[in-house]
Chains A and B, each alone.
Chain A
Amino acid sequence: MVKVTLSSGTAQQFTNGVTEVNVEAKNVRQMFKALEADFPGLGEEIQTSMSVAIDGVILPDPFLEEVTEDSEIYVLPKIGGG
């Protein structure tokens, strides 16, 4: 199982306010699938319009990355800049 942490705002929309969810996944694409299955709309939402931070590194287009039980995974909005 990997632990995915959502912002409180995202959690209110998709997980009834639960900010830490656990899913079975070995990489990010599996994680998206599992999140979508457990919380319809969430996996899709993250894939299309959010970033994921794994162990402190913010990834705007995560997909191939490996994840383990020890990974610290956070979902956050996309960041651009001027």
Chain B
Amino acid sequence: MAKHHITTTINGEEAEYLCEPQETLLDVLRDQVGLTGTKEGCSSGDCGACSVMLDGRLVCSCLVLGVEAAGKAVETIEGMADGENLHPLQQKFLEEAALQCGFCTPGVLVAAKALLDTNNNPTETEVRYWLAGNLCRCTGYDKIIRAVMDTAADMRGA
């Protein structure tokens, strides 16, 4: 099994790794690149804990092969804050207690940011359906949905 040498961009920086053809982008991010903020909850695309952006599209990194990232741009939770300045969503999640155990949080934040990047005035229903693929077992989603809506309102006001 020859390993593939992949050159890609992760969180704006060029990155290289060796991976076997069957390894997923999730495996690669966690085990080769050391970015463990992206979580594995199911490995079947049903929980969204491994959400990342791939060339500007929200995807489950468990459903992308590591080799497919060649020449593409990957964005993970680790790239969401700007240095020590948290992204407004990250800040709002803290202020509004929109996380409990925090395990689904990276995936939820990446997904929510993808929504707000294209729609800064979503309805509650739009937020709920957009995030339907991000399972959270702790919060009942209430505070997550509110935090996303409130962040959008702040972004519109700014």
A and B touch in the complex (CB under 8 A): no
B interface list, Cβ under 8 A from A:
none
